[in-house]
Structure 1
Amino acid sequence: MDLGISGNSAIVAASSSGLGKAAATALAEEGANVVMNGRDEERLDAAVADVREDASGEVVGQPGDLTEADDVEALVERAVDEFGGLDHLVTNAGGPPSKPFLETTDEEWYDAYDLLVMSVVRLVRESVDHLRADGGGTVVCSTSHSVKEAIDGLVLSNSVRMSVIGLEKTLSRELAPEIRCNAVMPGAHETDRMEYLIQTSVDQGQHEDYDEGYDAWTEGIPQGRLGPTDEFGDIVAFLSSERSSFINGEAVMVDGGDARSNL
C-alpha cells in the first residue's frame, strides 16, 4: 500500500533506539524525509546510518534533550531548514525510572512530567505553524499501554502518561481540520527498554532470572510473544498518512491483546 507520504518532512523525537527508531525507519522507507533525534550524539549517528540503509527519503540527525526548550526549537528548525517545511511530528520519549510508589521522590515525579508531557507540549507548540502550512499535517504521540492498564512497578509511567492522552485528545479538536492528532499505546516490544525493565524486575527480586522475567512479560499476551518493532513503525506511518485521514483523536493500542480493559 502506497501511503502517499513520499517527499513529506517528518520529525521523530527520541528515535536513536527502540520504537522511536522503528517509527523513523517506517516513515523513511515510505519516502518521507526524516529528522531523527536523541541525546547521545554518537548513538544517534549510528541510528541514522542504520535507517538510511533502507530509506527512500533523506534521513538526518539532530541531537538534543527534549526537556530543554532550546533543543526542541533547534529540532524543529532543523526539519524546516533541511526539508523546507514540516508535515509530520511523532512525539516520543524514553521511559521514566521503574520504581514502586513509596520509593519515588518528588523530583522523580517532576522529572517524569517534564520528560513525558512537557516534551510533547514544547514539540507541538514549536511545530504547529509549520504543520498547518501547505494543507496541514499530523501529530502522532507515542505513549504506552500503561495508560489503559497499570503495570506493576511503573507508577510514573502509569500515572503521568495519561496526561499525554488528554493533551492529544484536546489537540485533535483544537487543531483540526488542518492537523490530525492521534496516539499509539505500545505494549511489550523487542526493544532495549524492554530488556531494561526485565532486568530491573530481576534486580528487584520479582523474578529469579532474565528468562523468568521474559516469560512473565509474554505470559499474558494472547499472541504469545513480544511485538516486532517494525510493525509498530508501520502503524505510526499509517496514522501519519492520508490513508488514515478520518482517524483523529484516537489512542490505538498496540500490545498483542495484552490489556484486558474493555475501554
Structure 2
Amino acid sequence: MRRLSWFNTVSLTLGFAFLYIPMIILVIYSFNAGKLVTVWTGFSTKWYGELFQNEAFLNAAWVTLKVAVISSTFATVLGTMAAYVMVRGGRFYGRTLFSGMIYAPLVMPEVITGLSLLLLFIAIGLDRGTLTIVLAHTTFSMCYVSVVVSSRLVTFDRSLEEAALDLGCTPFDAFKSVTLPIIAPAVISGWLLAFTLSLDDLVIASFTSGPSSTTLPIKIFSAVRLGVSPEINALSSIMIGIVAFGVITTSLMSKRAITRRQAEENKAVQ
C-alpha cells in the first residue's frame, strides 16, 4: 500500500477543511440561543421549534419535495427511453440532431434554459406554478439520466437478451425481465441524480415558479437577502443531516452487498 506524501496530505486536509468547516460552523450556530448568527449566547434548540412552526418554510419544503419526486420520475422514464434509443437504435436519420438535443442541457447555462422555458410558457398561455416547475425540471434533468443509463447500456451483454428472445420472449418481455433488472442500478442512480438536481435548483425554478409555488431554495435565497436568521441555520442543518444519513446508509448497503457477493463467490468456489 502506497503512503500519502506530505503534499497530498496537506492538499486533502485543506480541501476538506474548506468544504466542511463552514458546514460545521453552521450546524453549531443553529443551536445558538441568540438571534445573532455570529455571536454565541448559549445552547438552545428553540430555533428548530420555530422552524417547524413556520408555515412559509414548511409549504416551500412540501412544494420542493413534490416537484422533485414527480419531475425525477418523469425524467427517469424519458431519459431511459432516450438512452435506449441512442444505444440500441443504431444509425437513423436525425440521430446527430437527436443526440445534440439530449445533451444540450448539460452545457446550456441555466439562465438561458430558465428564460427560454419562461417565454415558452407565456407563449402557450400556461400559468406559472407547480406544473411549470415540474416540466422545467424534467426538461433539464432528463439529459443527466440519459447519460447515466447510456453508460450502462453500452457495456451491457446483449447475449442475455438474445437468449431470452430465443426462449420465446417478446422484445418487450426481454427488456422487462432481463435488461431492466440489470440496468436498474443505473436507472436508480439517474433518478437520485435528477431528484438531487431538482431539490437544489434555484435559477430555473425562479423563472418558472409562481406566487403559490415557491420552492425551498427560492425561499431560502429570499430570506438570506434580508439577513441570515437562526431558522435558516436550523433548516440547513436538517438538510445536511438528511444528506449525511442518506450517504452513510447507501455506503453501508453497498458495502454489505459487496461482502455478501464475495461470500457467495467464495462459497461457489469451495
Fold in common (TM above 0.5): no
Greater strand content: 1
Q: What is the TM-score normalised by the length of structure 1?
A: 0.24
Q: What is the TM-score normalised by the length of structure 2?
A: 0.24
> RCO (CA 8 Å, sep 6+): is it higher in 1 or 2?
2
Who wins on radius of gyration, i.e. which is larger? 2
